[in-house]
Amino acid sequence: MDHRLIHWELAAKTAATLGTPGPKLTPAEASAVVADLRRHADAAVGHVHEITRLEAARDLRDSDVLIVDRASWARANVHSFEAIIDRPLREAAAKHSEKLSATSAAVTARATGAEMGAILSFLSSKVLGQFDPFAPLKRPHLPEAGRLLLVAPNIVEVERELNVEPADFRLWVCLHEQTHRVQFAAAPWLRDYLLGSIAELVEGMLGKADSLGERLTRLFTEKTPLTELIRDEHDREIMSRLTAVMSLLEGHANVVMDGVDCSIVPSVKTIRQRFARRGADRGAIENWLRRVLGLDAKMRQYADGQKFVSAVVRQIGMEGFNRVWERPEHLPTEHELHHPQEWVDRMQA
C-alpha cells in the first residue's frame, strides 16, 4: 500500500494552474528587474552584517539566490513541504494502515494535494521573498545551504501599488530576507533542529489520531487550526518551542529592518508608512483567508519576537543577544519570549 498522504505532484500542478502571472512586463523590463534584485540581494548582505554584527553575514556565499515567478515559488514550496513532512506522514500512515484503506488513502492524498495547491496559489501572489533553509542545493560541497527566493512579480506589483522608489523598496525587501539567510548561516544547527521538531510534532499529532485520513483532511480541506489537532501535552510543548523559534526569527529580522536608516534606504520612512497602511486595506475574503491560514498569527509573531529582541539588545547589546545563535539551549522558550529578562538572566548565570 502507498502510504503517501499528500499528492505532491497534484499540489504543484494545482498551484500553477490556479495562479495568476502578476503585472505585465516586457522581456526587457523583466530582465532588468531580475538583474536589479540580484544586485540588491548582494548589497543587502553587507548591511545585515553591519547591523547584526554576525560574522556569518560577512561575504555570505553559501546559498542560492533565485528570482522567481509565482508558479515557481509555489512549486518550490511544495518541494520544501515534501522534504519537511513527507517522511513523518508516511511513517504515521504506515502505523495506522489498518485504519486507512488504499482507496481512502488515495482520496485523502488527492484532496490534501489539491487543497495545498490552492493555498499555495493564494499565497504565491502575496509573498515578496522567502529564505528556504530546507531546500538542498545541487552542489555536493554545500548540501544543505538553502536558497533565497525573491518573487519578482509581487515585488513589482507592491512597489507600484505603494508608489515608492523601486530601488529602495527592492533593497528593503532583500534586507529582511537576507537576515533570515544570515540567521541560518550563523546557526548551522538550526535547520536540523527545526526539521526534527516538526517531524516529532507531525508524528505525535497524527500518530494519536483516531482516524488519520479524516484528521489530515480536516487540516487541509476544512482549514482546521493546527492547535485544535494538538491534544497531547508533549505535542503542545513542541508547538510552543516552534512558536518561540519562529517568533525569534521574524522578530530579529524586523529589528534589522528598524536598524535601516535613510543612509541605506533613502525613502525608508515612506516605505514603512505605506507598507503598514497597506495591511488595513485588505478585503473581507482575504482577511478571512489570512485568519484560517494563520497569517495573522504570523504577524503577531513578528511583534512578539521584535519586542523580545529589542528588549535584550537594549539591555546587553547586540553581541549579548547573538548568543542565541550559538546552540539550541540558548533559544528562548515561549515564556521567555514574553519575559526577556528571564532569558538574559539565564544567559548570564
**Residue 143 in contact with residue 83, Cβ under 8 Å?**
no
Q: What is the mean pLDDT of the chain?
A: 82
pLDDT per position as a tens digit, 46-103: 999 999 999 988 867 656 789 999 999 998 888 888 888 777 777 766 766 555 556 6
**Helix (H) or strand (E) segment spanning residue 67:** strand 64-68
Average confidence (pLDDT) over 280-301: 52
Cα 299 to the chain's mean position, in Å? 12
Torsion angle of C-alpha atoms 255, 247, 57, 60, degrees rounded to 10: -130
30 pLDDT band (50/70/90 cuts)?
very high
Please report the pLDDT score of residue 111 as a whole number.
80
Query: SS3 string of 284-330?
Result: HHHHHHHHHCCHHHHHHHHHHHHHHHHHHHHHHHHHHHHHHHCCHHH
Higher per-residue pLDDT: 183 or 228 = 183
Please report the pLDDT score of residue 348 as a whole number.
92
pTM of the entire predicted model: 0.83
Please report the pLDDT score of residue 248 as a whole number.
94
Least confident interval from 73-82, 228-237, 321-330: 228-237
DSSP codes joined into one string, 9-58: HHHHHHHHHH----S---HHHHHHHHHHHHHHHHHHHHHHHHHH--GGGT
Under DSSP, is residue 131 helix (H, G, I), strand (E, B) or coil? strand
Please report the pLDDT score of residue 220 as a whole number.
53
Please report the pLDDT score of residue 31 as a whole number.
96
Under DSSP, is residue 147 helix (H, G, I), strand (E, B) or coil? strand
3 pLDDT band (50/70/90 cuts)?
low
203 pLDDT band (50/70/90 cuts)?
confident
Least confident interval from 63-67, 80-84, 136-140, 286-290: 286-290
Distance between CA atoms of 338 and 107, rounded to whole angstroms? 43
pLDDT > 70: percent of the chain: 76
Please report the pLDDT score of residue 310 as a whole number.
96
151 φ/ψ angles, rounded to the nearest 5 degrees: -90, 95
Higher per-residue pLDDT: 239 or 167 = 167
